[in-house]
């Protein structure tokens, strides 16, 4: 019977265990949104995880939505990430980069030439966003022209090639959390009348085109996908999420991806407050490797693996605060608690200064 410590093959990637590090935005990139030596150290410390999924990395200048998030679209960024992958590999780890386009969850302060953010439809999200000059209200984005969409698809494919040049073992396309791909998928944010709007098939078109292009660029056995069917993060919802995501997951089978990563539930809410959704149905529809994500502890993760509900479990803040989480699980050691005040700011504080078990 498999457990968290069993090896696992995800496409071309061999994992020594089934503890996956979930993608976590940390806002520590340097000038030019280039990973720094501090970023190198952060990921090096966590190399014992079966697979590291990096913080989301914008695929082009237009894709940025937060300060100091490391991109994967310039030569300097590729070189910075190469230092990260070299360090992780030297520590015996495996690492995949999460490819990101935030869509409307941005601000002109973060866009090239102060342009409006883009989205499937010109609908302003509720709330505020972080910019280099502090918190500001979201703006009404510009709806992408149909003729612009192939450029978005190409940006993901090129970013995947850049990731291979940077030494990554694979990529995870970010299709969740209310960012651009999710904005196209969900009925609340997609009011288009062209081939990318209306029916669930049309709303899924961008995602499926991106997956096809990314797989063609680097090989399907190094490509994964993140989805978050009912997460309301970034002011997003769907009229019938089960219908939408049943269709999407069924269509993904033709790509034979390395993995599918499902963020369950509704953000940080406890399980009894999650919106209704049948995740077991997705498991039955999807024929490949499934990673489940959100709110797992050691016991519940072991149960999910042993029952076959998932092939691996992604841990976010537990791995953020415990670089040696695999060893702590193995020996039953207590866990450090995250420094919530320094999730996004603080340089080494709350980033690379968490204690590890004595050797």
pLDDT bin (cut points 50, 70, 90) of residue 265 is confident
Closest CA to 316 of 104, 83, 98, 1: 98
Segment 36-95, tens digit of pLDDT: 999 999 999 999 999 999 999 999 999 999 999 999 999 999 999 999 999 999 999 999
Give residue for tokens 């005040």. 341
Query: Is 163's pLDDT higher than 90?
Result: yes
156-184: average pLDDT:
98
Q: Which of 42, 43, 66, 179 is catalytic?
A: 179
Give residue for tokens 């968490």. 354
Query: Is 103's pLDDT higher than 90?
Result: yes
236-247: average pLDDT:
97
pLDDT more than 70, % of the chain: 99
Question: Would you state the pLDDT for residue 81?
Answer: 98
Domains and CATH numbers, the chain: 8-321 (3.20.20.70)
Bridge partner list, 313: 19, 292
Judge contact between 183 and 236, C-beta under 8 A: yes
Q: What radius of gyration, in Å, describes the C-alpha atoms of the chain? A: 19
Query: Is 268's pLDDT higher than 70?
Result: no
What's the helix, strand, coil split of the chain in %, to 5?
Answer: 35, 15, 45
Closest CA to 21 of 281, 288, 241, 312: 312
Name the token pair of 165: 């040049």
- State the number of CA atoms in the 13 A half-sphere of 32 facing the CB: 13
Segment 330-340, tens digit of pLDDT: 999 999 999 99
User: Is the torsion defined by CA of 115, 345, 351, 104 positive or negative?
Assistant: negative
Per the model's pLDDT, the better-predicted residue between 1 and 168 turns out to be 168
Backbone angles phi, psi at 301, to 5 degrees: -70, -45
172-180: average pLDDT:
98
Backbone angles phi, psi at 39, to 5 degrees: -65, -40
107-133: average pLDDT:
95
Is 179 a residue of the active site?
yes
- Give exposure, 233-269, as e/b (b: 16+ Cβ within 10 Å): bbbbebeebeebbbbbbebbeebebbbbbbbbbbeee
Closest CA to 340 of 29, 26, 102: 26
Name the token pair of 316: 């976010």
Question: Would you state the pLDDT for residue 272?
Answer: 72
Segment 269-325, tens digit of pLDDT: 677 777 889 999 999 999 999 999 998 999 999 999 999 999 999 999 999 999 999
Query: Is 109's pLDDT higher than 70?
Result: yes
DSSP-based three-state secondary structure for 145? coil
User: DSSP letter at 118?
Assistant: E
Identify the weakest region by mean pLDDT among 128-142, 158-172, 202-216.
128-142
Mean pLDDT of the chain: 96
DSSP-based three-state secondary structure for 227? strand
């Amino acid at each position: 019977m498999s457990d968290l410590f069993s090896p696992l093959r995800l496409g071309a990637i061999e994992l020594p265990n089934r503890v996956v590090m979930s993608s976590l935005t940390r806002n520590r990139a340097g000038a030019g949104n280039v990973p720094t030596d501090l970023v190198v150290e952060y990921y090096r410390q966590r190399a014992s995880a079966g697979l590291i999924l990096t913080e989301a990395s914008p695929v082009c200048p237009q894709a940025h939505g937060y300060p100091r998030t490391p991109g994967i679209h310039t030569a300097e960024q590729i070189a910075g990430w190469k230092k990260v992958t070299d360090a992780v590999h030297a520590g015996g780890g495996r690492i995949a980069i999460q490819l990101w386009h935030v869509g409307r969850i941005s601000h002109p302060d973060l866009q090239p030439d102060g342009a409006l953010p883009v989205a499937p439809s010109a609908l302003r999200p509720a709330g505020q966003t972080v910019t280099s000059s502090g918190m500001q209200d979201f703006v009404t984005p510009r709806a992408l022209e149909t003729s612009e969409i192939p450029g978005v698809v190409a940006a993901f494919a090129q970013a995947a090639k850049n990731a291979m040049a940077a030494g990554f073992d694979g990529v995870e396309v970010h299709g969740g959390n209310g960012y651009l791909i999710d904005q196209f998928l969900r009925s609340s944010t997609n009011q288009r009348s062209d081939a990318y709007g209306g029916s669930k098939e049309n709303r899924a078109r961008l995602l499926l085109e991106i997956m096809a292009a990314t797989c063609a660029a680097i090989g399907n056995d190094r490509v994964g996908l993140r989805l978050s069917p009912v997460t309301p993060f970034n002011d997003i919802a769907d009229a019938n999420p089960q219908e939408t995501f049943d269709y999407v997951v069924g269509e993904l089978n033709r790509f034979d991806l390395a993995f599918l990563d499902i963020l369950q539930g509704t953000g940080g809410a406890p399980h009894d407050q999650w919106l209704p959704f049948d995740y077991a149905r997705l498991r039955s529809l999807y024929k490949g490797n499934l990673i489940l994500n959100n709110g797992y502890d050691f016991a519940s993760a072991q149960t999910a693996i042993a029952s076959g509900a998932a092939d691996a479990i992604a841990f976010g803040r537990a791995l953020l605060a415990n670089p040696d989480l695999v060893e702590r699980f193995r020996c039953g050691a207590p866990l450090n608690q995250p420094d919530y005040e320094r999730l996004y700011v603080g340089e080494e504080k709350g980033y690379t200064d968490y204690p590890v078990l004595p050797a």
